[in-house]
Amino acid sequence: MTDLYTEAYRRRMDAFGPGLWKRLDAVPTLPGNGATECLAYVLELACKAQNIANITLGRLALTQMPRSWLVEHLAVVTSSALDLDDNWEFRRYVEALAFVDPALAEMAVERGQASSNPDVRESARDMAGTCATFAARNRDSLAERGERP
């Protein structure tokens, strides 16, 4: 049985392209701004959502997108989709990146240490050097959702 969060995610991904939720490797081929809009949606799920089901759906989707394309577009899309001076969004962003590539997450932590928000700077200090461990310790939470949400 599929939960309501997964059904909503699938419907939204299908709006970008039929069956896209099953083949996230196709995201870069979406016409027009579809690919970057899809990435923004997934980042918002992973980083802005308050419900762990949505957060997990976003994290899992990020791990299934082509890594080279994701890295190429991440900075631009993140700057428009997220507020990394918001402590919640910053923490979720670092956590999501840890699943994609712990080195990317550590780079985000370094940038967070220069934030104007003291809470973000404190989070960055707390998270420094822990991204690979976080991903390894929590990888099962993604695996529980299966290969695809």
Three-state SS string over the chain comes to CCCHHHHHHHHHHHHHCCCHHHCHHHHHHCCCCHHHHHHHHHHHHHHHCCCHHHHHHHHHHHHHCCHHHHHHHHHHHHHHHCCCCCHHHHHHHHHHHHHHCHHHHHHHHHHHCCCCCHHHHHHHHHHCCCHHHHHHHHHHHHHCCCCCC
- Structural domain total, the chain: 1
Judge whether 22 lies within some domain. Answer: yes
The residue among 51 and 138 whose pLDDT is bigger is 51
Judge whether 98 lies within some domain. Answer: yes
- Expressed as residue numbers, the domain containing 70 is 4-143
pLDDT at residue 2 in the model: 63
Judge whether 149 lies within some domain. Answer: no
Judge whether 39 lies within some domain. Answer: yes
What global pTM score does this model have? 0.92
For residue 146, pLDDT over 90 is answered with no
pLDDT at residue 1 in the model: 44
Judge whether 67 lies within some domain. Answer: yes
pLDDT tens per residue across span 91-136: 999 999 999 999 999 999 999 999 999 999 999 999 999 999 999 9
Judge whether 127 lies within some domain. Answer: yes
Q: What is the mean pLDDT of residues 74-78?
A: 96
Judge whether 91 lies within some domain. Answer: yes
Judge whether 43 lies within some domain. Answer: yes
